[in-house]
A and B are shown apart, each in its own frame.
Chain A
Amino acid sequence: MLTFLNHLISGISLGSVYAIIALGYTMVYGIAKMLNFAHGDVIMVGAYVCFFMVSSFGLHPIIGILLAMVVCTLLGIVIERLAYKPLRQAPSLAVLITAIGMSYFLQNAAQLLWTSNYKMFPAFFTFGGKNGVSFFDGRLNLSWTTIVTILACLVIMVVLTLFTDKTKLGKAMRACSEDKGAAQLMGINVNTTISVTFAIGSALAAVAGVLLCSAYPTLMPTTGSMPGIKAFTAAVFGGIGSIPGALLGGILLGIIEIFAKAYISTQVSDAIVFAVLIIVLLVKPTGLLGKQIREKV
Chain B
Amino acid sequence: MGLLTSPTAGGSSKKFANILIKWEPVVSPLLYIAGIIWFLALAYHPYNAGTYFSENALLPGLVTNEFSDGSELARLLKALEAEAADHPDTVPHPWIRAQFRQLGLQVYPHNFTLRYPLGNGSVFHGENTYAVLRAPRSGSTEALVLSAPYRRPGAPHPPNHAAVAMLVALAKYFRRQVYWAKDIVFLVTEHEQLGVAAWLSAYHQQPVGHGLLDAGDLPGRAGSIQAAINLEVESATVSHVDVLVEGLNGQLPNLDLVKMAHWICHQEHIQHTTQGRADHPRPHSEAGYRHSLQTLLHMMASQAAGTPTGNHGHYLRSVAPVEGNHGHYLRYGIQAVTLRALDDRSMPGPRSGLSHLARVLEGMFRSLNNLLERFHQSFFFYLMPATGRYISIGLYMPPFALVAIGIVLRALTCWLRLPDTDDSEGRQQEAEGAESDGKKGGNACDRPSEPCVLPCVLAPHALGAVTLAGLVPLTQLLAAAGWPTERAVFAGLLTVSVGSLLLPAITSRRSALSESGRLLLRCVTLIELGLLVFTAALFNISLALIVTTLYTPVALSARYYSSAPARLLASLCLLLVHPFTLQLAAVALGAPALAWRAVLAADQRALAVALVDSLVYGARLLDVACTVLLPLWLQMWTLVHCG
Chains A and B are bound partners: no
